[in-house]
Chain A
Amino acid sequence: MNCIVCIKQVPSTNEVNLDPITKTIIRDGRQSVTNPYDTFALETAVQLKERCGGTVSVLSMGIPATERLLRDAVSRGADRGLLLTDRAFAGADTLATSYTLSLGVRRLGDFDLILCGKMAIDGDTAQIGPELAAHLGIPHVTDVLAITEVGGASVTVETAWQGGVRQVKVALPALLTVQKDVNQPRMPSIAGVKRGLEAPVEVLGAEAVQADAKRIGLTGSPTQVVRTEAPQRDSTAVYIEGDASQQAHKLAELIAGLTEGARA
Chain B
Amino acid sequence: MSGLRIDKDLCIGCGNCANACLQEALTVDSYAEVDSAKCILCGMCVDMCPVSAISIEKEESGIDKSAYGGVWVCAEYLEGSLHPCALELTGKARELAAQLETEATAVVLGDESADACASQLSYAGADKVLLVTGERFAQPVEEVWAAALAELVRARKPEILLFGATEFGRSLAPRVAAMLETGLTADCTLLEIDPETKLLRQTRPAFGGNLMATIVCPDRRPQMATCRPGVLPMPELDETRQVTAEHVSPDVPAAQKTLLGMVRQAAAGKSITEAKVLVTAGRGVGDKKNVALVRRLAELLGGDYAVSRPLVDMGWAEYPHQVGQTGVTVAPDLLITCGVSGAIQHLAGITGAKTVIAVNTDPEAPIFARADYAVVGDCVQVLKALIQELENGTTK
Contacts and interface: CB of A to CB of B under 8 A. Distances in A.
B307 interface: no
Contacts of B371: 235, 237
A130 B178 contact: yes
Interface stretch (B31-39, B67-75, B113-121, B125-133): B31-39
B142 A228 contact: no
Given A124-B326, A238-B374, A158 B263 contact: yes
A127 B385 contact: no
Contact of B211 (A141, A230, A239): A230
A214 B396 CA distance: 69
Given A98-B178, A139-B257, A171-B256, A63 B40 contact: yes
A25 B358 contact: no
Interface string B19-48: 110110000000000001111111110011
A26 to B, nearest CB: 8
Contact of B334 (A135, A225, A259): A259
Interface in B153-179: 167, 170-179
Contacts of B252: none
Interface string B202-221: 00011110111111111110
Contacts of B257: 139, 141, 168-171, 174
A33 interface: no
Given A224-B217, A249-B389, A127 B174 contact: yes
Contacts of B220: 222
Contact of B357 (A98, A171, A245, A254): A254
A38 B37 CA distance: 26
B395 A253 contact: yes
Contacts of A230: 210-212
Contacts of B48: 23-25
B386 A251 contact: yes
A77 to B, nearest CB: 24
The B interface is mostly helix, strand or loop, or mixed, namely mixed
Contact of A229 (B1, B47, B261): B47
Nearest to B17: A24
A25 B1 contact: no
Contacts of A135: 178
Given A27-B19, A244-B385, A255 B334 contact: yes
Given A124-B325, A135-B178, A237 B39 contact: no
A232 B344 CA distance: 11
B284 interface: no
A156 to B, nearest CB: 7
Contact of A90 (B39, B345, B374, B396): B39
B210 A17 contact: yes
Nearest to B184: A127
A248 interface: yes
The A interface is mostly helix, strand or loop, or mixed, namely mixed
Contacts of A236: 372
Contact of A225 (B37, B43, B368): B43
Nearest to B218: A224
Given A127-B174, A220-B61, A258-B334, A94 B184 contact: yes
Given A14-B208, A134-B175, A256-B395, A95 B374 contact: no
A139 B259 CA distance: 13
A235 B385 contact: no
B352 interface: no
Contacts of A133: 175
B366 interface: yes
B146 interface: yes
A189 interface: no
Contacts of B395: 249, 252-253, 256
A161 B186 contact: no
A247 B379 CA distance: 10
Nearest to A214: B61
Interface residues of B, number: 111
B316 interface: no
B240 interface: no
B12 to A, nearest CB: 13
B228 to A, nearest CB: 12
A239 to B, nearest CB: 5
Contacts of A164: 262-267
A240 to B, nearest CB: 5
B388 to A, nearest CB: 8
Contact of B369 (A161, A234, A244): A234
Nearest to B259: A168
Interface in A53-79: 63
A196 to B, nearest CB: 24
Contacts of A234: 369
Contacts of A259: 277, 301-302, 334
Interface-centre pick from A156, A169, A234, A251 (highest chain B CB count, 10 A): A251
Given A63-B40, A230-B210, A219 B47 contact: no
B187 interface: yes
Given A219-B59, A258-B355, A134 B263 contact: no
Nearest to B372: A237
Interface of A: 11, 13-18, 22-27, 30, 63, 87-88, 90-91, 93-95, 98-99, 119, 122-135, 138-143, 156, 158, 160-171, 174, 214-215, 217-240, 243-245, 247-249, 251-256, 258-259, 262
Given A131-B174, A142-B170, A247-B375, 7 more contacts: A127-B174, A141-B257, A164-B263, A168-B260, A233-B369, A240-B373, A262-B333
23 contacts: A16-B207, A17-B210, A24-B48, A27-B22, A126-B186, A131-B177, A135-B178, A138-B256, A160-B167, A167-B263, A215-B181, A223-B185, A225-B215, A228-B43, A228-B206, A228-B207, A229-B214, A237-B372, A238-B373, A247-B359, A248-B386, A248-B389, A249-B394
Q: Can you list the 4 inter-chain pairs with the closest CB atoms, starting with the nearest?
A: A91-B41, A163-B266, A222-B183, A248-B385
